[in-house]
Amino acid sequence: AQSVTQLGSHVSVSEGALVLLRCNYSSSVPPYLFWYVQYPNQGLQLLLKYTSAATLVKGINGFEAEFKKSETSFHLTKPSAHMSDAAEYFCAVSPHFGNEKLTFGTGTRLTIIP
Amino acid sequence: NAGVTQTPKFQVLKTGQSMTLQCAQDMNHNSMYWYRQDPGMGLRLIYYSASEGTTDKGEVPNGYNVSRLNKREFSLRLESAAPSQTSVYFCASSKSGEETQYFGPGTRLLVL
């Protein structure tokens, strides 16, 4: 069975500072990994996904994530935080291509300090 | 395209009442899903439908039933609502064999 662990349910960063949201995965087979973002009172939308091509994945809104097999991690980063990045971020895992069932982490709420 | 739509947006029920949450997608996706979102627990899969006429249980199916009415619509029914079912419910859809899921705006349900 696969799972993801998001370290830190709440993260606060100053506007312009680096954003780092942590995700570690557990999977018995090579995983596919995702980051979704949820803005207040909205559904989830895909930020980026890793599907065994390049280990550094670029997503929307300047976010990127790096798949590190040795560390079983898929941390999300953005060099310079913007006020509009305030949202909840979810890491998710799917065990292999074609298995559409995702297992989500518990989420990290990102607050941007002006 | 509207994407994934859900009705209602908000509902208050009394314990023991029943209701159906509606979901529709206009992206011609085969797969559809129902999740519930609770604070500190992320999203948990309730039921899943890989195609019209098929449904499978997810992680937390107890107290729920689903119907895949046609390719577009996937409804979630609470036969006898309980306070533990107070949550935000999300419907999602995806193409068969593709990992990306597209989410609706959610239904906020309060059971008193």
Bridge partner list, B88 = B37, B108
Q: Which residues contact A49 (CB under 8 A, 6 or more apart)?
A: A32, A33, A34, A35, A57, B99, B100
Q: Look up residue B12 and give its two tokens.
A: 């208050």
Q: What is the pLDDT of residue B69?
A: 85
Bridge partner list, A109 = A10, A88
| Distance in angstroms (rounded) separating the CA atoms of residues B81 and B111 | 7
* DSSP string over A39-66: -TTS-EEEEEEE-SS-SEEE-GGG-EEE
| Distance in angstroms (rounded) separating the CA atoms of residues B60 and B49 | 15
C-beta atoms surrounding B76 within 10 Å: 22
Closest C-alpha to A35, from A79, A82, A73, A81: A73
Average pLDDT of the residues of chain A: 90
C-beta atoms surrounding A38 within 10 Å: 20
CB contact at 8 A, B46 and B34: yes
pLDDT bucket at A98, cuts 50 / 70 / 90: low
pLDDT bucket at A53, cuts 50 / 70 / 90: confident
Q: What is the pLDDT of residue A10?
A: 95
Minimal C-alpha gap between B15 and chain A (Å): 25
| Distance in angstroms (rounded) separating the CA atoms of residues B104 and B83 | 23
Is A101 in contact with B48 (Cβ distance < 8 A)?
yes
A95 vs B71: which has the higher pLDDT: B71
By CB atoms closer than 10 A (0-12, 13-18, 19+), residue B78 is buried
C-beta atoms surrounding B50 within 10 Å: 17
- DSSP annotation of B15 reads T
Find chain A residues with C-beta within 8 A of B32's C-beta: none
Q: Tell how many helices (H) and how many strands (E) occur in chain A.
A: 0, 11
Give residue-wise pLDDT tens across range A56-87: 999 999 999 999 988 999 999 999 999 999 99
Question: Which of B4, B43, B96 comes nearest A104 by C-beta?
Answer: B43
Q: What is the pLDDT of residue A1?
A: 72
Minimal C-alpha gap between B38 and chain A (Å): 9
Enumerate chain A positions whose Cβ falls within 8 A of a Cβ in B: 9, 32, 34, 36, 41-46, 49, 51, 90, 94, 97-98, 100-102, 104-107
Give residue-wise pLDDT tens across range A7-28: 999 999 999 999 999 999 987 7
Q: What is the pLDDT of residue A79?
A: 97
Tell me the pairing of strands B102-103 and B87-94: antiparallel
Is A100 in contact with B31 (Cβ distance < 8 A)?
yes
Statement: residue A100 has pLDDT above 70: no
Statement: residue A51 has pLDDT above 90: no
Minimal C-alpha gap between A87 and chain B (Å): 14
Mean pLDDT score, A92-105: 77
Residues of chain B with pLDDT below 50 are none
